[in-house]
Structure 1
Amino acid sequence: MSADDRFGRSFREERESRPLGRRNEIVTGPVSDWATDFSHLEPEWAADPYPIQDDLRRRCPVARTERFGGGWLPTRYEDVAAVAYDTEHFTSRSVVMSNFRPPREVAPVGVTPPISSDPPFHHDARKLLLPAFKKSAVARLEPATRAYCHELIDSFEGRDVVDAAHEYAQHIPIRVIADMLGFPPEDGPRFREFVENTLEGVNLPPDERIARMDKLFDYLLEQIRDHVANPRDDLTTYLIEAELYGRRLEPSHVSGTMALLLIAGIDTTWSAIGASLWHLARTPADRERLVADPSLVPTAMEEFLRAFAPVTMARLVREDMTWRGVEMKADDWILLSFPAANRDPAQFDRADEIAIDREVNRHAAFGLGIHRCVGSHLARMELRTALEVWLERVPSFTLADPAAVTWAAGQVRGPRTLPVRIT
């Protein structure tokens, strides 16, 4: 079958031909008790989840909610790690907790392989991506990334207040991922819309959420067809031509992996950059130390990743079972809060402190287990480069208005607005 034939059918037609997943009644409103009614969409969670997580870790290490059709939230490092490594009792067929669960038939591939894939398929799907994200491949992207960071800061000329999230952090991974996939860089605003629909629209009615996701996959189909007609040296063409088990990838595999790279490769990194700049804007001692000694940036960066880990992943319970003393039902959600795990005092000394010279720092910001982030080298390069350029060009800055800083709700947390004053 030619590539043209493979991608002749729209992804919407393909999705509509599959069995429907489980949809749940939407439950909203203020949280009554975080131990029995948690919701990662509430404004107080977005603004500052750490006191909530600390309280749960002390009195109820595995919290419960009836929202989203039922789910669980472990907050201790050992419990988060146990779920992450346990592929027998927990499936990855959906990693974004919402009111819609894909049908069991999508396993072991899932909607966005390899992050939605279960063993043994996961290993082979992940292996396809490793060449593009190895250290040597990422190193080749650094000069262009560094030049783009300078270009963004050049645009600040003559201004004393800028939005470090919207005008700096958000643009960097968008440009990097667009270049890797061979997408038009001017489509950046559309990428932001796709990110928000995927990660922040989880409490929408399932039909509306699916319709919004269709926009993403329609866009990907448009890009794929353009690459079929005009192959080039980028990740999209690589996926179109890649083989697994002796045959070309299914269209749903190609589009799902592209969706993963577009969504996960953008929001996670811009959130990490933004949170790091937020900390430095409000902590002059750390900012001045890094300006005086840029060689400390890589170590400080790891601490920012630990303390402000942006990503929380989800799993689904395979079958009814008792786990850590709680009765879990098949298809219950379980949220893997890597941010909570990274602040567990049983795992990290001075867990609630930001120590930019912390030497031993085996954090879980990039996940644990088989789904540890395949793009960790890329994310580290982007974060380090963004901080180095910013501190070189903007060595003195503060929060222009702390109350004006807003944070994303949902499973990827980072500043959405971050007005800073250049001093």
Structure 2
Amino acid sequence: MLENQMADRPNHVPDAAVFDFDMFLDAGLLLDPHERVREILRDAPPVFWTPRNGGHWMIVGYAENYEASRNTETFSSELIPAEMIAMIRPLLPADVTHIPLPTPINLDPPSHTKFRAPLQAAFSPRAMMARKEEIRELANELIDQVIDRGSCDFIPDIAEPLPVQVFLKMLGLPLERLAEFRALVHEFLAPPTSPIDPILRMRKVADAMKDDIEARRTQPRDDLLSLLWASEIEGRPMTAELMEDFGVLLFIAGLDTVINGMGFGVRHLALHTDFQKALRANPKLIVDAAEELLRRYTFTVPTRRVAKDTEFAGWQMKVGERVQLFLPGGDLDPREFADPHTFDLGRENNVHIAFGVGPHRCLGSHLARIELQVIYEQMLARLPEFRLDPNQPAKFHAGNIIAIDSLPIRWD
């Protein structure tokens, strides 16, 4: 995929399946993301093909996302299969010996299951609950730094340092490199500019972690890198190459996603001060509020590859075509949720797909939920009524994550 490259419509794609949408640069998505998602649901089919970014499929509807996410035989997570790697390898610099692929998210069952196993216990509900007070303490430290100012940019001041510091500690990476790592995540998630861009970016992430990964081999600590070194896959010991594969996944997933969940949640609170009052009066509602905020402002867009010719949602799809699971659309689909744009704490059967569905459901969902609940609790407990800064609008970017870059808020 090349940035802004327009593709010709393939012969098997009828005109009725085409909707012109750029998941990276769409103007409406960058102005008011979820309002634009509602427009797409109104104007486009639940599954459509766009000529943007080299041409690919977008799955927007809830039922369609649910089905595709579970059908790993047809919609594969192996985005760069072995034969493609063999074709790309001659194009890579000579010093790129190992191509790190984000494991296990790049695998399909049954391989996915065995490579996910070493991470299951580390991200279990019990293990994540053990970190709750550590997370609360850090949240309070960050609020202390801004509370007397009467304002802050919520993203760099609170939303970034909270989950990123928690995750860096879990991994065993140095906190003083936080800014460097965040810049690397932004670079990784930017639109590719050449066919080998994704591989070079994964190599760059692995290189940034390389010294710390190697150090844990001989000097283990109480962290996730050390745990992985001690793990076996079907009786075989861990390798340096596989450690890089795990590292790339954990680095990208842990250093970006929940930041945006916090951002959209606090933005909603800042826009609805009556809702703030309700939660302050009854903090027990925050658990349910966090779930409805996740549904209302879902923000991840996973990628799949068509693994075999298929007919899906009435359209023919061919082997090798790229598919984007537009989960923000699924959770605003009026066919699934009554008045989906309405924030409803009493919503019944709120089975949102913000964390995905099927075998690739987000491994870090338990940690994300705790972080979201804690930041809402502490913001509401410690700050007076806050609102958006009318002189500094929020800034967004899009792609595989619908993200908030800046969210200035004020309080009296």
Instruction: Give me the TM-score of the superposition, normalised by structure 1.
Output: 0.86
Aligned to 1:172: 162
Among candidates 26, 31, 48, match of residue 47 of structure 1: 31
Among candidates 57, 62, 72, match of residue 87 of structure 1: 72
Secondary structure of 2:302's match?
strand
**1:110-259 superposed matches below 5 A:** 111-199=101-189, 201-259=190-248
Deviation for aligned residue 1:368: 0.8
Aligned to 2:353: 364
CA contact (8 A) 1:197 1:209 kept: no
Deviation for aligned residue 1:174: 0.5
CA contact (8 A) 1:194 1:263 kept: no
Matched, 1:62 2:51: no
Distance 1:150 1:106 in 2: 46
**1:212-361 superposed matches below 5 A:** 212-361=201-350
CA contact (8 A) 1:306 1:363 kept: yes
Distance 2:107 2:176 in 1: 32
Deviation for aligned residue 1:27: 2.8
The structure-2 alpha-carbon separation of the partners of 1:185 and 1:193, relative to structure 1 and needing over 3 Å to count, comes to: same
CA contact (8 A) 2:202 2:248 kept: no
Deviates more, 1:42-51 or 1:310-319: 42-51
Distance 1:409 1:290 in 2: 30
Deviates more, 1:400-409 or 1:72-81: 400-409
Distance 1:53 1:168 in 2: 27
How many matched pairs? Answer: 389
Q: Percent identity between the aligned chains?
A: 33
Deviates more, 1:379-388 or 1:243-252: 243-252
Deviation for aligned residue 1:373: 0.7
Deviates more, 1:249-258 or 1:343-352: 249-258
Distance 1:116 1:210 in 2: 13
The structure-2 alpha-carbon separation of the partners of 1:104 and 1:373, relative to structure 1 and needing over 3 Å to count, comes to: farther
Amino acid of the structure 2 residue aligned with 1:261: L
Secondary structure of 2:325's match?
strand
Deviation for aligned residue 1:257: 1.6
Amino acid of the structure 1 residue aligned with 2:47: V
Deviation for aligned residue 1:156: 1.0
Aligned to 2:384: 395
Aligned to 2:410: 421
CA contact (8 A) 1:93 1:106 kept: no
The structure-2 alpha-carbon separation of the partners of 1:70 and 1:142, relative to structure 1 and needing over 3 Å to count, comes to: same
CA contact (8 A) 2:2 2:195 kept: no
Per-residue CA deviations over 1:136-157 (Å, capped at 9, x if unaligned) read: 1111111111100000011114
Distance 1:110 1:227 in 2: 18
Deviation for aligned residue 1:110: 8.4
Q: Once superposed, what is the RMSD of the aligned Cα atoms?
A: 2.3
CA contact (8 A) 1:148 1:172 kept: yes
The structure-2 alpha-carbon separation of the partners of 1:273 and 1:103, relative to structure 1 and needing over 3 Å to count, comes to: same
Distance 2:198 2:104 in 1: 22
Question: Please, which runs of 5 or more residues in structure 1 have no aligned partner?
Answer: 1-23, 95-100
Secondary structure of 1:37's match?
coil
Aligned to 2:61: 76
Among candidates 13, 21, 32, match of residue 38 of structure 1: 21
The structure-2 alpha-carbon separation of the partners of 1:25 and 1:276, relative to structure 1 and needing over 3 Å to count, comes to: closer
Deviation for aligned residue 1:25: 4.6
Distance 1:238 1:215 in 2: 23
Per-residue CA deviations over 1:106-159 (Å, capped at 9, x if unaligned) read: 79x981111111111111111211101111111111111110000001111431
Distance 1:47 1:341 in 2: 20
Per-residue CA deviations over 1:243-271 (Å, capped at 9, x if unaligned) read: 01111133332222222122112311110
Matched, 1:385 2:374: yes
The structure-2 alpha-carbon separation of the partners of 1:110 and 1:219, relative to structure 1 and needing over 3 Å to count, comes to: closer
Distance 1:55 1:122 in 2: 35
Per-residue CA deviations over 1:193-217 (Å, capped at 9, x if unaligned) read: 1221122x12323445544433211
Amino acid of the structure 1 residue aligned with 2:63: E
Deviation for aligned residue 1:356: 3.1
Distance 1:363 1:351 in 2: 11
Distance 1:265 1:171 in 2: 12
Distance 1:67 1:250 in 2: 39
Per-residue CA deviations over 1:376-398 (Å, capped at 9, x if unaligned) read: 11110111111111111113111
Secondary structure of 1:78's match?
helix
Distance 2:104 2:198 in 1: 22
Distance 1:402 1:93 in 2: 45
Secondary structure of 1:264's match?
helix
Secondary structure of 2:227's match?
helix
